[in-house]
Every structure is written in C-alpha cells, then in structure tokens.
Structure 1
Amino acid sequence: MAPAPRRSPASKSGAARTASRAVIPQLSWRDPQPAPIVLVSGPEDVCAERAIAGVRDYLRAEDPTLEVSDIRADDYAAGTLLAVTSPSLFGEPRLVRITGGEKMSDAFLTEALAYLDAPQDGATVVLRHSGASVRGKKLLDAIRAGTGGGVEVPCPVIKRDGDRYDFAAGEFKAASKRIAPAALRSLVSAFTGDLTELAAACQQLIADVPGDVTAEVVERYYGGRVETSAFTVADTAISGRLGDALMALRQAMDSGVDPVPLVAAIAMKLRTMARVAGSRESAQALASRLGMKDWQVNNARRDLSGWNQQTLGLAIMAAAQADADVKGASRDAVFALERLITVIATKAPYGTR
C-alpha cells in the first residue's frame, strides 16, 4: 500500500488543544506528522519516544532511503546541525533527532535559532525538550511562534488513574489487540508507579498473547505485583470478608510486598469511595467532574454498599494511622496492617468485635 501523502502541518491544527503561547499546530503523540521542525515537549518520556518513532516511521514509509542522524544538544559540535540537514548527493530525505534540549549548549542554541530562518528542504528536525529547565526558552518561543514552519507534540505527565487507563487502552488499540475491560483495569491497577513499566507490560501482552487478553491472562502475568495484591486485600476487606482479607494480606506479605505502598493503595481506594459517596449525579457526569472514569465511579458506588459516613470516616482514619505505623511509628508493621484490615472489614474500632 502506498504511503499517505505528506500533509501540511496546518492540516493537523485541530489534533489537540493549542497552548496559549503557541500558534503552531499541536499534534497528538499517537499521531505525529512530519514538518520542518517538530518540537516534542513535556516530561513524559514514554509518549515522547512514541512520537519520535512515529515521525520516523511516517517518513520511512514515504521513502525507505531516509537518512537518520542523532545529535545531543548538550554535547554539540559547532556546524553539526547544518551538516546533517544539508542535501546529500542523491537527495535522500533526512531526519535529525535532537535530544537533551533542556540542557542545550550555547553553540547549539545559536545555530538552531539561525536554522529556523532557513530550514533545509527535505529535512525534518525533531527537537526533544523535557521542560525540566527553561534552558533554550528563546528557541522554544521562536518555534512556537511559527518560525521555521514547525509543529509541537506535547507529552504532559500522565498521573491520574483515568489518564493511565486511557494510555493503556490506546496501546492495545494501536496494536489492534482486544483486551477485556476487567483485564485492562487489573493491568492499570498493577502498575500505578512508573508509566514505563505499564507501557512495557502492555507491549509484552500484545506480543506474547495470541488471542484476546483476559483478566485471567493479566492475573497470570502480573498477579504478584504489589498494587494488584493491595487491591485484592482492599476489595475483600471492604466487602466485609475479614477472614479472606487477612489471608490475602498474609499471602501478600509472604510474597515480599512492601507495607508502605500496600497501605497507600488501600487508602486511595477508600478516598475514592469518599469522593463518590452521597452524590446523585450520573456516573458520567460525576466522573467528568472528579477527573475519573465511569467504571471507577461505578466500582466505588458498588463498594459503598453497607457503608455510611461514620464507618467510612473510621476506615480512612485507620488507614492514616496505619500509614504512619508502617513508616516507623510502630515496631510491628504486620500488626498495623492486620488492625487496619480488621477495622475496614468489621466497620468498627479495633477490638470492639
């Protein structure tokens, strides 16, 4: 199949919301397009890597003879940018990937600003700037003002559960791989820390599993993860199954789970219940207002069965005490966890039942 014709950057101006300081098109990192200058900005390295690879793949589909060069902006030799962007004898297209923009040298800054005034025909320059510093602000401002005919691919940090869910869902959609909703929720719950780990887990399942990805598959691959163990403990305790919850807790501890993130995961689930409690809005409206997903609201409402304001408050205070205990306030972290699980499962102060 012939590659799609190369589009003008202006044709993608509606791909994402334009930043207030930028007049150039803002593109999605999942659907980047080549331009004389492509600014890949923001701290989320996983998304930035996807964007840069997407530009390369797009250009290579247009012309397999694409020449690819890599430059470090923080370790820059004068004259390099012009040398790698200048046309070769046979006129192959050129892709220049520049990393370390947040630490760029004065020499790079000077030459990059000059390059914007006269970009080379047939060259695509991709500049990665994480935003970790204001270094190179003059260059970024010039690109965003439209000098050089560039586009920007923002890669903001992904922290919220809903955003992580969307990210994982997008990984499977991009690979045309089906994953059951329950499996996707379990997978996201298993990797609440580094997005790189979640991305790697998605790619492993995409590569290894021949058919649809089910909840059983995710449990088989990642059932031992700290976060999955924590949510299993929390779910059984919240449903009032004290014996099952204590057994799940013991299994988690025997497998080497750290008490600190375990308590944090339980506390997060309780806080989600508290945010949802008492609201009569539709799941969609409440999820939108709280920055959550519909399924998270529905799960929290289901968890709230049998709970009231007093018992939920008691559980949240017990979680705060357990958090302090496992961080050093108590000499017995296991006892602190057992006490927390007992309070949650019985909905009563410890020792009263």
Structure 2
Amino acid sequence: MPGSAAVVLFWGEDEFLLRLAARERLRDRGMEPTEVDGAGWQGGETADLATPSLWGEQRALLVTGSHHLPEAGLREIQAYVTSPSPDALLVMTLVSRAKSAPPLAKRVRESGGEVRQVAMRRQDLPKWIVDRAKSRGLRLSGPAATTLMAAVGEDTAALDQATEQLAVAFAGKTVTPDDVRAQFQGLGEQRVWDLCDQALTGRLGEALVTLRGLLEAREDPLLILGGIAARLRELVRVRGLPARMPSAEAAKAAGIRFDWQVRRYRDQAGRFSEEGLASLHARVAEADRALKGGVAGDVLLPSLVAAMAGMPDAALDVPVRVSR
C-alpha cells in the first residue's frame, strides 16, 4: 500500500517541493536516511541498503537530483529497484518539466514501488503558505499569505524561508497583511532572486512579469542589475566545482548558504556553455555602462533578461550616453 513501498520516486518541476515530500515520507516512516546527491554519486551507495544493521534499525537512502545521476549510477539504481531489500527504503527525487513520468518511473512501478508527481498550482500557493506557517506554530491569514507572495515572489523555497522568519518575529500572534508588509517592505532583493530563477530556467514570460513588478515598485535598476550580476558570479563558482562534489561541500566551497541552492545553480549553469556565461557577464557590463549613462531600466533590462532565458537574438543594442 502507499507509504510502505521499499522504493519511492517523487518527480516534478520544483526541487524544493520534491525534497520536502521526500523528507515527509521518511519522517512518516521514522527513518533518518543517508543522503546522496545524484551529481555526487560515487558508486556502491545501494549496497548499504541490503546490509543488515547491527542495531536492528531500518536503513534508508535519499537520492536527490536523480536526473543528475551518471550512467553507472543510473544502472546501479535500476538494478537495485528490480530487487529491493524489503527491510530498507530508497527514496529518490527527480526534477522534470515533462508532462509524463520519467523513464525511471516505469522501472519503479514494475517492481512494486511508488511513483508520485509533486506539483503546485499557482492558485494553491496561498493555502500551502498558510499550512507551512501552521506547521511552525504560526497563524497566518489567507490575505497575509497573498501579501507574502507579492513581497517575496512565488519561489517555494523562498516562501518557506519567509514563513520561518515570520514565525520567529510574530510567535503567538495572528499575522496580518500589514505585518507582512512591515516585515518585508522593500524586499526587492528577494524578488530579484526570483527573477533570476525564472529567467535562468527559460521562463521568460514569468521573468518579464517579475521585472515589470520590480520597476513599477520603483526598485533601482542598478540594484536589479547588481542582483543579476551576483547570481551569474555564483553560477560561475558552482560550475567550477567538481560535478561529483556533494551539495553540502559545494555550498561551503562556493560560499552559498544552502545546499539546495547548489543543486538549483548547477541546473541553471548547465543550460549554458562557459562561453555563454562569459557572454552574459559581458552583457551585464554593457548594461551597467548604459544605465549609468542614462538609459532607462525599462528599456534596457528586458533584453538582458531575455538573454538570460536563452533567446539567441536578444541584444543590448542601446547607445550609451556619455556624461560630460
């Protein structure tokens, strides 16, 4: 029955939601897993699942980012899935924007495992925020959740962090829209972070809507550009690390706060060649000179965002006004 399978695969577009679902399943089963990132697969990780524990506890393995598994790692996973240990639990997350389940799902189902797509509709986000707040002992009204989305953006990881911040600031109080605005007023930096995520994953329409919101809120175009430049520098640092380096170690080496950010940045950097990232850096430098020369942000920034989204014909053919 669901919940008791020896192998579970969660797949979908949102890496944070996938990891959350995986952790909830492990917690429900009372297991603390060994965690491995697909990009850091070394080989032999599934062998521990078949080894009886000296203390009698059940063994569990969490493989995040299974879409990054090397070919040898995928073969090992497929072999284990065919005949899993009944006394162990293998949980995997796999990021995919496809409408149908990934090929690995078929192997899991055929072996009696569980496959579940994890998806979040935009209209369900406010309720999800309220529920996440409730799990932290925070009472958050529906309108406050909507206000939080307007302030922070729609990235689930950022929203989850924001609810944690509210839980600390307003413990024991019902949080209202005014409370949210007071806590996150002028939070353009986080919305720039959301803008970068949208653009660097090819979601140009969403990115342009976010950019328009930032400009309408009178956020300084130079600050927006600074956030974009900072993200590109992080992508370069992450790209320069060994692909098999575990996410936690990579986060420390790259000076990034969370290991899930490393996994996300690896995906984003993987959409570009080294030359492509260098070209984006050059565009940022051009944009900086143009903005300081007096070009309006709403004229210049959309083409840069389009280039981040992978549009080959996006260009910054904007004359730079030289101040005297």
Give the structure 2 partner of residue 223 of structure 1.
185
Give me the whole-angstrom Cα distance separating, in 2, the residues matched to 1:199 and 1:38: 24
Give me the whole-angstrom Cα distance separating, in 2, the residues matched to 1:105 and 1:228: 33
- Count of aligned pairs: 208
Give the structure 2 partner of residue 55 of structure 1.
25
Give the structure 1 partner of residue 169 of structure 2.
208
Give the structure 1 partner of residue 54 of structure 2.
89
Verify the 8 A CA contact 2:8 2:92 in the aligned structure 1: yes
Given residue 185 of structure 2, which amino acid in structure 1 is its aligned partner?
G
Deviation at 1:47, TM superposition (A): 0.9
Give the structure 1 partner of residue 118 of structure 2.
155
Q: Match of 1:39, SS?
A: strand
Deviation at 1:37, TM superposition (A): 0.9
Give the structure 1 partner of residue 128 of structure 2.
167
Identity %: 22
Verify the 8 A CA contact 1:41 1:130 in the aligned structure 2: yes
Q: Match of 2:116, SS?
A: strand
Give me the whole-angstrom Cα distance separating, in 1, the residues matched to 2:55 and 2:221: 59
Give the structure 1 partner of residue 90 of structure 2.
125
Change (3 A) 1:258 1:188: farther
Deviation at 1:132, TM superposition (A): 6.1
Give the structure 1 partner of residue 45 of structure 2.
80
Which of the pair has the greater relative contact order for Cα pairs under 8 Å at 6+ separation? 2
Given residue 12 of structure 2, which amino acid in structure 1 is its aligned partner?
G
Normalising to structure 1: TM-score of the pair? Answer: 0.50
Instruction: Within 5 Å, give how 1:1-353 maps onto structure 2.
Output: 8-9=1-2, 33-60=3-30, 66=31, 68-131=33-96, 137-143=102-108, 146-156=109-119, 158=120, 160=122, 162-210=123-171, 211-226=173-188, 253=218, 256=220, 326-328=297-299
Normalising to structure 2: TM-score of the pair? Answer: 0.54
Change (3 A) 1:202 1:39: same
**1:129-183 deviations in Å (ceiling 9; x for gaps):** 112699x95432211xx22322223223x473x2322321221243453223332
Verify the 8 A CA contact 1:190 1:227 in the aligned structure 2: no
Given residue 106 of structure 1, which amino acid in structure 2 is its aligned partner?
E
Change (3 A) 1:325 1:77: closer
Give me the whole-angstrom Cα distance separating, in 2, the residues matched to 1:81 and 1:44: 25
Give the structure 2 partner of residue 305 of structure 1.
none
Give me the whole-angstrom Cα distance separating, in 2, the residues matched to 1:185 and 1:193: 10
Q: Match of 2:54, SS?
A: coil
Q: Match of 1:107, SS?
A: helix
Verify the 8 A CA contact 2:105 2:115 in the aligned structure 1: no
Given residue 212 of structure 1, which amino acid in structure 2 is its aligned partner?
T
Give me the whole-angstrom Cα distance separating, in 1, the residues matched to 2:62 and 2:16: 16
Change (3 A) 1:258 1:223: farther
Unpaired stretches in structure 1, ≥5 consecutive residues:
1-7, 10-32, 61-65, 230-248, 262-323, 331-353
Give me the whole-angstrom Cα distance separating, in 2, the residues matched to 1:178 and 1:167: 13
Change (3 A) 1:112 1:90: same
Higher mean displacement: 41-50 or 164-173: 164-173
Unpaired stretches in structure 2, ≥5 consecutive residues:
192-213, 226-294, 302-324
Give me the whole-angstrom Cα distance separating, in 1, the residues matched to 2:5 and 2:110: 12
- RMSD, aligned α-carbons: 3.8
